[in-house]
Amino acid sequence: MRIVLAVVLGRLVRVLTRLRGGGSALPGWVALKVAPHFVSYVMDRVRVGSNKPIVVVTGSNGKSTTTAMIVAALEANGHTVFSNPSGGNLPQGIASSMLAEVSLTGSLRATAVVLELDEAYGPKLVDIIKPTHALLLNVQVDQLNRFFEPERVIDMVTAIGSSASTVLVNDADDNTRLIGNRLTDGVRTVQGFDVSDELAMSGVYDAQVGFDNAADKRDPVATVTASRGSTATIVVGSETVHVDLPSPGIHYAVDAAAALGMASLVLGESANIGGAASAISALKPVYGRGESVEAFGAPLTIVMMKNFPSMQANLDALTEKPESLYLAVDEGTPDPSWIYDIDLSSIDHVDVVTGTKAWQWETRLAYAEIPVGRVEPDPTVAFEAFGSSTTPSRQPHRTAIVNYEQMMDLRRVLGYKEIEGE
Amino acid sequence: MHIVHLFPETLGLFGDSGNVLALRKRCEWRGIDVRVTAVERGESIPSNADVYVIGSGSSNSVRLVGENIDEVRDALTNALTRDASILAVGAGLHLMSDRIDWSDGSSTTGAGIVSGVSVPRPTRLVGEFVGCVADLSVAGFVNTGHRLETDAPAHIRNVVFDDSHDEVQNDGVEFGTIIGTHSHGSYLPMNPAIADSIIARTTGQSLVKESAHIERADRAAQASRDAIRKRLGL
């Protein structure tokens, strides 16, 4: 009965939140208040009498994109997949996603489940999700105000991996490679995906925690052998496929290799990897990650800077210096000290810097001797100023480099009402 | 001016390159000849440099650097006899102490350059702060699980974090030519007067030559500190 009530109330809140635009967590939060065991109830019903694959995806960066890619790959192979698209990786986010798809009695129609998990909540969530497969993408320097140090994240990601019988790790990342070796025992199957050596030099930013015992790599189930702009070549078993990436950058090629590798593990011999690659190629950018929106009568490319590795990878992927550039960072990034590690050679000016941390960025840019048109901490004023002071000419689009919270605000201001996670 | 950046890969968790960048650019902008030598673990440490910067890192990084702490001690002790300056931030500061104690009961021997012991904090100290160095107002961000028990004079006084950290009044150490702090990453860029005091002491020059670059960087730093002060409700 509580489940029915949770579904009804959660859905009601969901309708209201959609009207308003904004975050996706509230409906799930309400459902969990009414029925605290909502997620585990739904997952238990998924598992009843079947061997449905339940895949979890975790790591510092690339969770949302890779999750979307695995879903596409499995759907192209005939699966009906339940997932928590983009960002809804906390318990309330997963509950919100479930609300959209469960019956009143808490049943999902899915033949496979693919969930991205927050590193910190993941170790507890796997107790109720009980995954069959875990994909460990990377451990990079991320949200140290929350995680304190990468070693703790390594432990969290290890705990998430240990909950599955089949684990796929990124062997190009020293930390997940080490985790893979830690998890290798008689009980569990640990596989790896990789990036060819010459590519790895220029695009893999694993956290330097000084674990010197470089662990052995596994024979890769998938390898990125070439990556240029928005295209990648990936070898999966005996097949070589070409993938159009949702946005440029080797980090997206790594996500695609992870997704194809996981699809091949889930589907086994019957996997149609070519079909999976086509489905991945058809994906649009995940919400706010390199997507193009309309602003001031021209396209605006939104590049998210979550942390040092994600920003550096996105800057590395720029094919030319942005002509019209907006930079916004606020309290969603409590400690932006990592901006000093960023190689800024791919930008030659910034038109407008904004957000509560605007002056910290201006300090950084001053030391890089990169000109800034205007520093305006108020994002509303700043964005208007950006529109009126820039005219795309050499490039057809403007570029905004923003943190997650500013990305959400920007989309709302521009009238993109759909909730992340929908 | 010769700057040695100690172990930037191992001890560079919180944008520590920013401190080296601030020293280097502020020299260059004034026409002061400056060079930076990055020394990774296993490489020999020059003892003839003017300024040594050692930065922040994770627990494992501290243990790793601790494995060869004798070399660090020898090089820095030697350098100090020539009045070289040391800026030690976060884990780098703890490595300058006599010993780092861990919550599992183990410990790591430090360089013994700052008399004291680094002990685990009951709760981690994370957040923005403001404080004073002599009559200068400074600001920054701290993220540490350890504190230094020492009799050495503090570097930053009248420290104010948000309400949850009323117990912290001082930060770091300052004596002779040594400055240690938990304010990481962008400490010198955000507090350029501290960078200039190190440069002035090292070069023996009064830093008169200003430039548009310095004006821009200092204005941005001032506004960054003001923003922190405002966020702390001061």
What are the DSSP calls for B56-103, one per residue? ---HHHHHHHHTTHHHHHHHHHHHHHTT-EEEEETHHHHHHSSEEE-T
Predicted local confidence at residue A161, as pLDDT: 95
Q: Is A411 on the interface with B (CB under 8 A)?
A: no
Mean pLDDT of A214-221: 81
| Token reading at A68 | 């979307």
Q: How many domains is chain B built from?
A: 1
Which ipTM value was assigned to this complex? Answer: 0.97
A418 part of a folded domain: no
Q: List the single residue in A with minimal CA-CA distance to B63.
A: A210
Tell me how close the Cα of A200 comes to any Cα of chain B, in angstroms.
18
In this structure, the answer to whether residues A263 and A369 fall within a common structural domain is: no
Q: How confident is the model at residue B152 (pLDDT cuts 50, 70, 90)?
A: very high
> At A317, which CATH number?
3.90.190
Percent with pLDDT over 90 in chain A? 49
Cβ distance A30 to A23 under 8 Å? no
A422 part of a folded domain: no
Q: How confident is the model at residue A205 (pLDDT cuts 50, 70, 90)?
A: low
Q: How confident is the model at residue A210 (pLDDT cuts 50, 70, 90)?
A: low
Q: Is A371 on the interface with B (CB under 8 A)?
A: no
> At A249, which CATH number?
3.40.1190.10
Distances (CA, A) of A283 to A68, A409, B12: 8, 24, 37
Predicted local confidence at residue B206, as pLDDT: 84
- DSSP code of B165? G
What is the domain range of residue B87?
2-120+172-222
Question: A331 contacts in B (CB within 8 Å)?
Answer: 231
| Token reading at A276 | 């999976």
Hey, CA dihedral for B193, B199, B201, B206, is it positive or negative? Answer: negative
- CB A335 to CB B61 under 8 A? no
Alpha-carbon gap, residue B6 to B88, rounded angstroms: 10
Alpha-carbon gap, residue B97 to B95, rounded angstroms: 5
Alpha-carbon gap, residue B26 to B48, rounded angstroms: 21
Could you tell me which residue, A8 or B117, shows the higher pLDDT? B117
Kindly tell me if the per-residue pLDDT of A354 is higher than 70.
yes
A191 part of a folded domain: yes
Q: Is A370 on the interface with B (CB under 8 A)?
A: no
B24 part of a folded domain: yes
Mean pLDDT of A217-243: 92
Kindly tell me if the per-residue pLDDT of A1 is higher than 80.
no
In this structure, the answer to whether residues A261 and A296 fall within a common structural domain is: no
Where among A281, A304, A332 does a domain terminate? A281
In this structure, the answer to whether residues A203 and A345 fall within a common structural domain is: no
B180 part of a folded domain: yes
In this structure, the answer to whether residues A72 and A191 fall within a common structural domain is: yes
In this structure, the answer to whether residues A218 and A122 fall within a common structural domain is: yes
Q: What is the 3-state secondary structure (H, E, C) of A39-52?
A: HHHHHHHHHCCCCC
B140 part of a folded domain: no
Distances (CA, A) of A333 to A221, A356, B223: 36, 10, 18
Cβ distance B217 to B191 under 8 Å? no
Question: Which pLDDT tens digit goes with each residue over A102-151?
Answer: 888 888 889 999 999 999 889 999 999 999 999 999 988 777 777 777 88
In this structure, the answer to whether residues A151 and A277 fall within a common structural domain is: yes
Tell me how close the Cα of B104 comes to any Cα of chain A, in angstroms.
15
Predicted local confidence at residue A418, as pLDDT: 58
Kindly tell me if the per-residue pLDDT of A352 is higher than 90.
yes
Predicted local confidence at residue A421, as pLDDT: 45
Nearest-CB residue to A341 (from B17, B184, B223): B17
Predicted local confidence at residue B110, as pLDDT: 97
In this structure, the answer to whether residues A227 and A302 fall within a common structural domain is: no
Q: Is A366 on the interface with B (CB under 8 A)?
A: yes
Unique residue bearing structure tokens 């938990």: B182
Distances (CA, A) of A158 to A167, A184, A195, A345, A378: 10, 11, 21, 36, 41
Nearest-CB residue to B15 (from A211, A339, A366): A339
Predicted local confidence at residue A12, as pLDDT: 85
Question: Which pLDDT tens digit goes with each residue over A274-309?
Answer: 999 999 999 987 776 778 899 999 999 998 887 888
Predicted local confidence at residue A422, as pLDDT: 41
Predicted local confidence at residue A289, as pLDDT: 73
In this structure, the answer to whether residues A311 and A226 fall within a common structural domain is: no
Task: Work out the mean pLDDT of chain A and round it to a whole number.
Answer: 88
Nearest-CB residue to B10 (from A210, A363, A369): A210
Predicted local confidence at residue A89, as pLDDT: 74
- CB B16 to CB A375 under 8 A? no
Nearest-CB residue to B15 (from A210, A212, A337): A337
Predicted local confidence at residue B223, as pLDDT: 97
Mean pLDDT of A223-249: 92
- CB A375 to CB B220 under 8 A? yes
Question: Which pLDDT tens digit goes with each residue over A76-106?
Answer: 999 999 998 666 777 888 888 888 888 888 8
Taking alpha carbons only, the member of B186, B226, B159 closest to residue A335 is B186
B217 part of a folded domain: yes
Could you tell me which residue, A250 or B88, shows the higher pLDDT? B88
What is the domain range of residue A392?
292-413
* Kind and range of the H or E run holding A379: helix A379-389
Q: List the single residue in B with minimal CA-CA distance to A334.
A: B127
Could you tell me which residue, B168 or A363, shows the higher pLDDT? A363
B99 part of a folded domain: yes
B107 part of a folded domain: yes
Q: How confident is the model at residue B221 (pLDDT cuts 50, 70, 90)?
A: very high
Tell me how close the Cα of A370 comes to any Cα of chain B, in angstroms.
10
Cβ distance B50 to B86 under 8 Å? no
Within 8 A by CB and 6+ apart from A123, the residues are A156, A159, A160, A163
Kindly tell me if the per-residue pLDDT of B225 is higher than 80.
yes
Predicted local confidence at residue B207, as pLDDT: 83
In this structure, the answer to whether residues A81 and A116 fall within a common structural domain is: yes
In this structure, the answer to whether residues A262 and A328 fall within a common structural domain is: no
Tell me how close the Cα of A335 comes to any Cα of chain B, in angstroms.
7
Question: A366 contacts in B (CB within 8 Å)?
Answer: 213, 216-217, 220
B146 part of a folded domain: no
Question: Which pLDDT tens digit goes with each residue over A369-381?
Answer: 999 999 999 999 9
Question: Which pLDDT tens digit goes with each residue over A29-52?
Answer: 888 888 888 988 889 888 887 789
Kindly tell me if the per-residue pLDDT of A348 is higher than 50.
yes
Predicted local confidence at residue A272, as pLDDT: 95
Q: How many domains is chain A built from?
A: 2
Where among A281, A314, A344 does a domain terminate? A281
Predicted local confidence at residue A48, as pLDDT: 82
Could you tell me which residue, A163 or A6, shows the higher pLDDT? A163
A8 part of a folded domain: yes
> Residue type at A358?
A
Residues of B engaging A, defined by a Cβ cutoff of 8 Å: 9-10, 12-18, 21-22, 25, 41, 57-61, 64, 124, 126-128, 141, 143, 145, 184-186, 189-190, 213, 216-217, 220-221, 223-224, 226-227, 231
DSSP symbols for A284-324: PPPTTSS-EEEETTEEEEEEE--SHHHHHHHHHT-SS--SS
Unique residue bearing structure tokens 């890769």: A220
Cβ distance A126 to A147 under 8 Å? no
A421 part of a folded domain: no
* Kind and range of the H or E run holding A115: strand A112-116
> At B27, which CATH number?
3.40.50
Nearest-CB residue to B217 (from A212, A367, A377): A367
Mean pLDDT of A391-398: 90
Kindly tell me if the per-residue pLDDT of B66 is higher than 60.
yes
Tell me how close the Cα of B31 comes to any Cα of chain A, in angstroms.
15
A307 part of a folded domain: yes
Question: B141 contacts in A (CB within 8 Å)?
Answer: 334-335, 337
Where among A281, A306, A340 does a domain terminate? A281
A419 part of a folded domain: no
In this structure, the answer to whether residues A223 and A335 fall within a common structural domain is: no
Alpha-carbon gap, residue B151 to A143, rounded angstroms: 33
Question: A338 contacts in B (CB within 8 Å)?
Answer: 14-15, 185
A286 part of a folded domain: no
Mean pLDDT of B26-44: 95
In this structure, the answer to whether residues A275 and A298 fall within a common structural domain is: no
B125 part of a folded domain: no
